[in-house]
Structure 1
């Protein structure tokens, strides 16, 4: 009789952990409070045939997406057919809206674009790429794929020598500024730490590997949008014999004598040999782990004192036409006062100078909008619900909506945008909190400041409770779809190691 594992939450990490464990011979059941798989990797459908990804939208490091299918002997192309996007994105600046820059992962094209922005920065740009690539190789082999279960896993001479090479005390902004003088170019590179919910002004420098990954390896699009990945993981899990219970609200992780024994869902006790929790770690340790000793150092007070990522305001607009003038799937609108914008986000202020992102998935897959029409997904980073010094109400939504549309009107093709909307909805920090139990409505979980990264971050194996594991963006190695998929791999390996004694080799491959 195979051992039973309950996975709480069918988000990306929950699905991926469940797939790995089911494939390894465990009997796995997922309990998900919503009616669909994917967590924040979900879909919003509006009348008339407009379909939008709810949250994540940019596919980087496609090999990590593919690996979950390959590890089960499947061909990823049968599940998540992908195409490479080039250019990766178009960048607009609010002070020169009619002079956008196309950013390519073709090195020749990219070099030309950088020359057009600032010729004197070209050699500095490639020095930045060289430096950050070396950091990436260290992170890829020694830090991202491995757990830090005990202090000695990090505090040993070989590991510390590698950690020092990451120069962790630089901020992203300082690091990029060392190589690049052009303000526009610096912004285009450093702002991308917002993908994981932290400002480049405070982010450790190694997170500037995010744009490097785009420049070197490209950005991809999954047919049907990101939600195809969630549906395909659900399909694979079921093909392997796993089962998912939707609409099931888990109230508690049942813990007795320092050991997880199952869950309480909708008032019913469900027993299991192991529990993997994909609910956001701060929420889970505060509300689902009710046994005080099992919380370990993560008391309620400690959870409240941690630093949380920013949140997002997302508009989903069904439009009555196609935007031929806007050629790209991904478009970034930079405000010239980006530093002020970043400070305001993390100071909880209502934004008056805001940068945002426009994703037009129907450019890559016309089936996501009615024939001859486009859907616009517009994401603006904002303060999380705990830091925000203003209320999220209809007035705030109207204010940000108006701000976004007014800025877009300055761009050729969007001049009449307000009159071209036929249907719309939105997601606010309060929705991230209520629908996805994102603590404080922080879309990306715990902020990856130095004191909350690597061995300082909550680990997969519960420190003070046996048979309990965590996965997701607030655990090591962090936020972002590829990184969350790595957290799922770590969680499944940790559980298998404890169950069977099998040792995993975390050294460089």
Structure 2
């Protein structure tokens, strides 16, 4: 008889774990509190005809997604069309707009135009970033990280210096580029790793390669197409999804999970994999069965929360691209509000995504689908009145860029999402949106463990454990935990 595994949550790590475990011969049941899969990557459609991706919108590192599908003898194109964006995105400064072209050779020319010699230096930067990407995304991130011995190998030892594990990202970037705008352009991807660029290891230049060099893509129909495709793969392996099912309690006996209380009913399983928020999962255990104390979590550095707006606009917005970064204000000031002072920013940066520029099906004819996101400190009070202040500022800055007039009056659909919503919907610690920061002292073995130390058959996956925040790492995280359980058979 097959052993039964329960997976709590159907975010990317949960779906990934479900697919690999079902392939490994287990009876897999995924329990999701919402009425659809995806977790933070859910999608909703309004009665007016707007279709919004709720979370991720940057399809970077496409090879990681490709590897997932290849493991199940299929490919992403079996499920959705992937569109390469040109420009990849625009970055708005106070006195200039920089468009990042689709082709790398054009990117080199752009860098050279902005700063003499920067084109050749970009080559050197990207050659190093490519090496880090290939080693980091293959050898480093696929470790379960039980201990440092996993990293003792000739290849990793040989790579250690090249990986720049002990350099900080800001100092590293400044070795290549003097122009402040180019440095900001190179630093922006690491903001969502959960700390200032001066506190993030230079290893993460791999993100520049995974984005700028491999390109920025969009799955036609929205990012949610990746969720649906992965769910289909998992179901094809035999995994069963149960929506609107909330895990309310984890019952243990003699160091093993005996049952889960789900929608008021007890169900027994041989193993449990928690793709849910790590801290919340531990709250379902009695205190002396938890890996970590409340004090442990209070001392951790979390990636940001976010203020998000989903807007339906009744006219087309001229001169706005699919992805736009509004960086007219000082990057460090905003970062300090997130990780230092932990307050609402006075001079915010924000991001606008307008997928209707690429995909006409996500908005009614002659209308726009507009997604706005502003990174925030976790734990903030987020009353609607405060949210609205920032909405008005973001719209005014979009108007200044595009020449659009009075966008506020042209909103026919509006939904805000902020710190308290992340708590309510995902039990996210402090309302974090991206998980645990990838600072040097929260990397690899120093992240929360994927296995419970006191409950033999409880495992954890997702952005609060290895390898870290982001869609590709979450997919990898699910594979890691599945391999750990499958290895118990051998």
Q: Is TM > 0.5 for Structure 1 vs Structure 2? A: yes
Are 1:482 and 2:472 an aligned pair? yes
Instruction: Please list, as runs of the form range in 1=range in 2, the aligned pairs for 1:164-313 lying within 5 A after superposition.
Output: 164-285=161-282, 287-290=283-286, 292=288, 294-296=289-291, 298-313=292-307
Deviations 1:158-186 (A, max 9, x none): 64554444222322111111111010010
Match of 2:459, SS? strand
Match of 1:407 in 2: 397
Per mean C-alpha deviation after superposition, the further-off stretch among 360-369 and 239-248 is 239-248
Alignment partners' CA distance in 2, 1:184 and 1:218: 20
TM-score of the aligned structures, taking structure 1 as reference length: 0.91
Question: Please, which of 405, 409, 413 is the counterpart of residue 423 of structure 1?
Answer: 413
What is aligned with 1:39? 39
Task: Tell me which residue corresponds to 2:362.
Answer: 368
User: Partners in 2 of 1:430 and 1:70 — Cα distance?
Assistant: 38
* Structure 1 segments unaligned to the other structure (5+ residues): 502-509
1:218 deviates by 0.8
Equivalent in 146, 149, 168 of residue 149 of structure 1: 146
Shift of the 42–382 alpha-carbon distance from structure 1 to 2, 3 Å rule, reads same
CA distance in 2, matches of 1:68, 1:156: 25
Aligned to 2:436: 446
- Residue deviations 1:226-254 (CA, integer Å, cap 9, x gap): 11111222233333332222222212223
Q: What SS class does the counterpart of residue 198 from structure 2 fall into?
A: coil
Residues 108, 122 of structure 2: 8 Å contact kept? no
Q: Secondary structure at the match of 1:40?
A: helix
Report the counterpart of residue 332 of structure 1 in structure 2: 325
Distance 1:474 1:244, change over 3 A: same
In the alignment, what sits opposite 1:76? 76
2:112, 2:118 within 8 Å by CA — same for their partners in 1? Answer: yes
SS of 1:179 mapped into structure 2: coil
Correspondence for 1:132 among 129, 133, 136: 129
Residue 482 of structure 2 corresponds to residue 492 of structure 1: yes
Range with bigger deviation, 192-201 or 486-495: 192-201
Shift of 1:475: 0.8
Secondary structure of 1:201's counterpart equals helix
Alignment deviations for residues 446-502 of structure 1 (CA, whole Å, 9 cap, x no partner) = 11111111111123233333222111111100111011101011011011002x11x
Per the TM alignment, residue 157 of structure 1 is displaced from its structure 2 partner at its CA by 7.2
Secondary structure of the corresponding residue to residue 402 of structure 1: helix
> In the alignment, does 2:312 pair up with 1:322?
no
In structure 1, C-alpha distance between the alignment counterparts of 2:187 and 2:55, rounded to whole Å: 21
Could you list the per-position Cα deviations for residues 62-111 of structure 1 after superposition, in whole angstroms to 9, with x for gaps in the alignment? Answer: 22223333322234322132122222111111x12xx4221024122112
Partner in structure 1 of residue 51 of structure 2:
51
Between the two proteins, the alignment pairs up a number of residues equal to: 489
Question: How far apart are residue 2 of structure 1 and its match?
Answer: 1.1
Q: Which residue matches 1:505?
A: none
Provide the rounded CA distance (Å) in 2 between the counterparts of 1:158 and 1:221.
Answer: 35
**8 Å Cα contact 2:108/2:120 also seen in 1:** no
- The aligned residue for residue 99 of structure 2 is 102
Report the secondary structure of 2:39's partner residue. coil
Q: How does 1:376-395 map to 2 (within 5 A)?
A: 376-385=370-379, 388=380, 391-395=381-385
- The whole-number CA distance in structure 2 between the counterparts of 1:245 and 1:342 is 39
The change in CA–CA distance for 1:86 and 1:262 in structure 2 (over 3 A counts) is farther
Is the Cα–Cα contact under 8 Å of residues 261 and 274 in structure 1 kept in the other structure? no
- CA contact 2:315–2:368 (8 Å) conserved in 1: yes
C-alpha RMSD over aligned residues: 1.9
Q: Distance in 2 between matches of 1:65 and 1:254?
A: 35
Is the 1:313–1:382 Cα contact (8 Å) retained in structure 2? Answer: yes
Relative to structure 1, is the Cα distance of residues 229 and 137 closer, same or farther in structure 2, using a 3 angstrom cutoff?
closer
Quickly say closer, same or farther: Cα 1:114–1:366, change in 2 above 3 A.
Answer: same
Counterpart CA distance in 1 for 2:383 and 2:451 is 39
Counterparts of 1:150 and 1:454 in 2: how far apart (Å)? 9
> Does structure 1 conserve the Cα–Cα contact (< 8 Å) formed by 2:322 and 2:353?
yes
State the alpha-carbon separation in 1 of the partners of residues 154 and 237 from structure 2: 42
The runs of 5 or more residues in structure 2 that have no matched partner are none
